[in-house]
Chain A
Amino acid sequence: MKPKTLFDKIWDSHVVRSIEDGPDVLYIDRHYIHEVTSPQAFNGLNERGIPVFRPGKTIATADHNIPTRDQHLTIRDQLSRNQVERLTENCQKYGIELFGLNHPKNGIVHVIGPELGYTLPGMTIVCGDSHTSTHGAFGTIAFGIGTSEVEMVLATQCILQPKPKKMRITLDGVLQNGVTSKDIIMYIISEISASGATGYFVEYAGSAIRRLSMEARMTICNMSIEMGARGGLIAPDETTFAYLKNLSSIPGIKDLKSSINEWSNLKSDEGSVFDRDLKFDAGSIKPMITYGTNPGMGMAIDDSIPLTDKSGDEAFSSFIKSLDYMGFKPGMKLLGHPVDYVFIGSCTNGRIEDFRAFAQIIKGRKKAANITALIVPGSKKVEQQMLAEGLMELYKDAGFEVRQPGCSSCLAMNEDKIPLGKYAVSTSNRNFEGRQGPGSRTLLASPLTAAAAAITGMISDPRELLTEVKK
């Protein structure tokens, strides 16, 4: 038998029908929805007068536009409130489980899915959000979809989808101290550009990936979309199974042991062929930071902004336009550049390990006076863990206020906006113009680098602060 990639194994076993010269009809095992990209899909069902086909396979949360303070009060912004109320109504009407605002299990969709045991190896998973790729960390085919496709899944539990090409990214070697999974993925994107994996689904492999925790793997898969990939996945292994065994419950799984036996076969066969095969050395990666307005514009924190765009296309003024927006010049170093805001949170870096990493640097220190910090746990569960581990106290002692869970400043649909012209070191996933508020200037980085900026008030190498702690 011809060797098959993990991606092909999962995809092929979910094809209900192949349309000649067309997309595949792909069955979806798990559908996550949230308040922003679902209302129009429910309107569509309503207009057709049809029910949700398999309501048990859809899970809902409110996360994108909710406030991160005073969540027990009525949402002040009328449009946001309307969206959240519509989600509640739609879930009630169509029989969908909702972990809405103030629910003890509420949180960012890509944080709660895994932590509540709804994301399981071998599944096909979609959500009207491009960072659905996060769930690939469990060995799933998970990708973001548009609202028309949300409507398709609600109506038929299927989606029409052309099969993407396959890319493998192998990462061997040992990470340096102070380098995190966020730096790994930012490094890869800076190497292959913000569109380098468009048309592909990526499998991450290699010893450096194997050594990562589940949360670190989620950060990597999360940002697959930032290089244009449809999604990214990692074959499940002992680390995956240990994570699942540790969950308090896994809905729908009666015998976890026998499921784990099955999931153990979920890997690319020896000799399987990828359309593109890339290799990187983990040992040469340094803490990363972005200097431009797409995630491909990243560099090692102690590096200088390139003199020209790597793609070398002079016809488009995009590179200079981007630096102008950021207030930077080609060839400039960023170390020591003042920062105004620090944001830790989002579906990329809003999990307990991220807050532990941040704590490693702020412990026993004080927030710099010029820094406004937005500390936003990814879920209620993360918030509880922070409390249980004493992190809430630690953050408070260092001068940081911890907010309530939500997407917050990652896309600034709520009040958590970075003001015009201000610099934010952010653990989120996108540094697009205005992403964190009109005129905001985003510098993407790891939780360690964000913590270093929060303490020093400027762009700083986290390795130096980590060394100081050890002394």
Chain B
Amino acid sequence: MAKVKFDILESTCVPLPFENVDTDQIIPARFLSATSRQGFGDNLFRDWSYTKAGEKNSEFILNDPNYGGQVLVAGKNFGSGSSREHAVWAIFDYGFRAVVSSFFADIFTNNALNNGLLPIVVSEDLLKKLLNLVKKDPGSKVKIDLMNQTFTILPTGDSVKFGINPYKKECLLKGLDDIDFLLSMKSLITSYEKTKSL
């Protein structure tokens, strides 16, 4: 697992205005054969990023020099499908530190939080507003404040609270990792096993 800290992030955004972006789009299965966690960013959204002839697709948003930043903004049900954590590794490795959507798939949420990538759920209306704004003005910045759980669209001043499990928030703020936590509970786990005669 990765130990990554997150507190405040101010950044421009990359808009991806599609729903149901599944983990096969984020990182196609044919790129899952590595045995380390590094290098997946090169193949992020591979089949959208390259044309069928194998050239960079200049129409795809990641290849548009006008857009950039550490925040990815996507349509609802982002990260659906396969449980591959490689999807999160690819997004993180590419340089994103947060993903904003109106809805995330469950396994993706867990995987993101376990790697210091912050999934931020906003309302459908705010998501549309943000997508439109960023599309028009790629320089628009957002501010994410994890301690106060606020998400702010800086040019408009729209600011909302976002939800996060308090335990996970603490882990991210301090750069702690679940395995250390679980390892510290070994005796409790062993006594649980005894009560169940496992």
Contacts and interface: CB of A to CB of B under 8 A. Distances in A.
Interface of A: 13, 16-17, 19, 21-23, 25, 27, 29, 36-37, 39-40, 43-44, 48, 50, 53, 64-65, 77, 79-80, 82-83, 86, 128-130, 132, 144-149, 151-152, 155-158, 160-162, 164, 194-195, 198-199, 225, 228, 230, 293-294, 296, 313, 315-318, 321, 411-413, 420, 430, 432-435, 438-439
Contacts of A79: 33-34
A41 to B, nearest CB: 9
Contacts of B192: 16, 27
A411 B18 contact: no
A158 B182 contact: yes
19 contacts: A17-B185, A36-B33, A40-B85, A43-B37, A132-B83, A145-B83, A146-B114, A151-B179, A152-B178, A155-B183, A156-B179, A157-B189, A194-B20, A195-B80, A198-B77, A198-B103, A225-B81, A411-B29, A430-B81
Interface in B24-45: 24-25, 28-30, 32-37
A161 B111 CA distance: 11
A145 B167 contact: no
B77 A146 contact: no
B189 A16 contact: yes
A86 B2 CA distance: 21
Nearest to A17: B188
B180 to A, nearest CB: 9
A315 B47 CA distance: 23
Interface of B: 1-2, 17-20, 22, 24-25, 28-30, 32-37, 47, 52, 75-77, 80-86, 88, 103, 105-107, 110-111, 114-115, 128, 131, 165-168, 178-179, 181-183, 185-186, 188-189, 192-193, 196, 198
Given A21-B165, A77-B33, A294-B22, A228 B114 contact: no
B192 to A, nearest CB: 5
Contacts of B2: 148
B18 A321 contact: yes
A27 B166 CA distance: 21
A156 B182 contact: yes
A152 B33 contact: no
A102 to B, nearest CB: 20
A113 B38 CA distance: 31
Given A16-B188, A37-B85, A199-B106, A318 B75 contact: yes
Contacts of A225: 81
Nearest to A296: B20
Given A80-B33, A195-B105, A432-B24, 5 more contacts: A40-B37, A144-B107, A148-B111, A156-B182, A195-B80
A155 B179 contact: yes
A199 B52 CA distance: 36
Contact of B77 (A13, A129, A228, A439): A228
Residue among B75, B110, B131, B185 with most chain A CB within 10 A: B110
A321 to B, nearest CB: 7
Task: Please provide the 5 A-B residue pairs with the shortest distance between their CB atoms, ordered closest to farther.
Answer: A22-B167, A79-B33, A146-B85, A146-B111, A39-B35
A444 to B, nearest CB: 13
Contacts of A321: 18
Contacts of A13: 196
A412 B106 contact: no
Contacts of A146: 83-85, 88, 107, 110-111, 114
Nearest to B75: A316
Nearest to B38: A40
A76 to B, nearest CB: 13
B83 A37 contact: yes
Nearest to B20: A294
Contact of A228 (B24, B80, B167): B80
Nearest to A195: B77
